[in-house]
Every structure is written in structure tokens, then in C-alpha cells.
């Protein structure tokens, strides 16, 4: 059986193999942001950027897929605070899109929930093929989960560490 599997994996093209990611939710992102040495701002609002700048995979030349692409974006909405009060917040941000081999996220402009990493020059919104700090079209339940985390209530990770 192992011999058959190894032969199959040897002849299957790479796109036939799928990227396997652990479940990653807003509570995971919250904990990762809280544990990071950099400061993060939880935000809820609208992200605007040019989708033509997103990395595109050439399946015939997968090795040319960029590891990380940074593109300009604008966030407009609210910063979420510990007290549960939303503060109006608008910022130019760097949308950082990280690919894992040929697997690249394809975020879309519009409503989002996320965590902006503060840098000395700007804010960075990181996303990758297995998660990251950007949640497009968030559900009410996701927003409520982040608010619960901020208020010190139940904030259980989806993925065990």
C-alpha cells in the first residue's frame, strides 16, 4: 500500500496536493496578537485595496510565486477597545499577503474584522493561506467572540497550542 501511495505522489502534479491547515479562528488571532511583542489594534470596518495587486499563481511556474506581497490598503471603521466601546478609526495600512508555495489567500475588499500590527511607519494587516489576522465578511458571532476576548470573558482558541 505504501508503495502505491509513493508512486501516486511521485506522478501527481503538485496542484493535486492540497494544503492542510489547522483550524484558525478569531480567538486564535486574538491570542496570537496579544502574545506578540508588537502592538496590535483590533478593528471592524471596511478594507479597500486594488485586487489586481494580489499575488497570482502561475501553475506552470509555481516556484515563481512570491512568498510575501505587500500592497497599499485603507481601513475605515472602528478600533475595538477593552471597554467594548468602538472608537472611529481610519488608517492607510499595508496589506501583507503571504503565500505558502502556490497557495495564496485571495482577500477581497469590503467588510472585515482584523488585527492591525503597529509599526513605526504604519499599520500592517497580515493574512496567509492558513489564517492570519484578516477575517473578511465577519459574522456577528466572530465579532462577539473578539469583544468577549477584549472584555476578559471566554476566549478559547479553536486550535490547541
Q: Is 101 contained in some domain? A: yes
Please give the residue that has the higher pLDDT: either 14 or 107.
Answer: 107
Q: Is 156 contained in some domain? A: no
Model confidence at 20, pLDDT cuts 50, 70, 90, reads: confident
Q: What is the pLDDT of residues 77-108, one digit of tens each?
A: 999 998 777 899 999 999 999 988 888 899 99
Q: Is 81 contained in some domain? A: yes
Q: Is 82 contained in some domain? A: yes
Q: Which pTM does this prediction carry?
A: 0.84
Domain that residue 93 falls in: 21-150
Q: Is 41 contained in some domain? A: yes
Q: Is 12 contained in some domain? A: no
Q: Is 158 contained in some domain? A: no
Q: In angstroms, rounded to a whole number, what is the distance separating the alpha carbons of residues 137 and 121?
A: 27
Q: Is 26 contained in some domain? A: yes
Mean pLDDT of 10-35: 77
Number of domains in the chain: 1
Please state the three-class secondary structure of 95-157 as a single string: EEEECECCECCCCCCEEEEEEEEECCCCEEEEEECCEECEEECCCHHHHHHHHHHHCCCCCCC
pLDDT above 70 coverage of the chain, percent:
88
Amino acid at each position: 500500500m505504501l508503495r502505491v501511495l509513493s508512486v501516486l505522489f511521485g506522478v501527481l502534479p503538485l496542484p493535486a496536493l492540497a494544503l492542510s491547515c489547522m483550524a484558525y479562528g478569531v480567538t486564535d488571532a486574538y491570542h496570537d496578537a496579544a502574545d506578540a511583542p508588537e502592538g496590535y489594534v483590533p478593528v471592524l470596518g471596511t478594507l479597500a485595496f486594488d485586487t489586481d495587486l494580489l499575488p497570482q499563481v502561475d501553475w506552470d511556474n509555481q516556484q515563481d510565486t512570491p512568498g510575501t506581497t505587500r500592497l497599499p490598503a485603507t481601513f475605515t471603521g472602528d478600533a475595538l477597545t477593552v471597554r467594548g466601546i468602538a472608537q472611529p478609526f481610519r488608517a492607510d495600512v499595508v496589506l501583507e499577503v503571504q503565500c505558502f508555495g502556490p497557495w495564496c489567500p485571495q482577500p477581497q475588499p469590503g467588510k472585515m474584522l482584523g488585527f492591525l500590527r503597529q509599526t513605526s511607519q504604519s499599520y500592517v494587516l497580515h493574512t496567509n493561506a492558513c489564517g492570519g489576522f484578516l477575517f473578511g465578511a465577519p459574522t456577528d458571532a466572530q465579532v462577539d467572540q473578539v469583544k468577549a476576548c477584549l472584555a476578559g470573558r471566554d476566549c478559547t482558541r479553536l486550535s490547541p497550542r
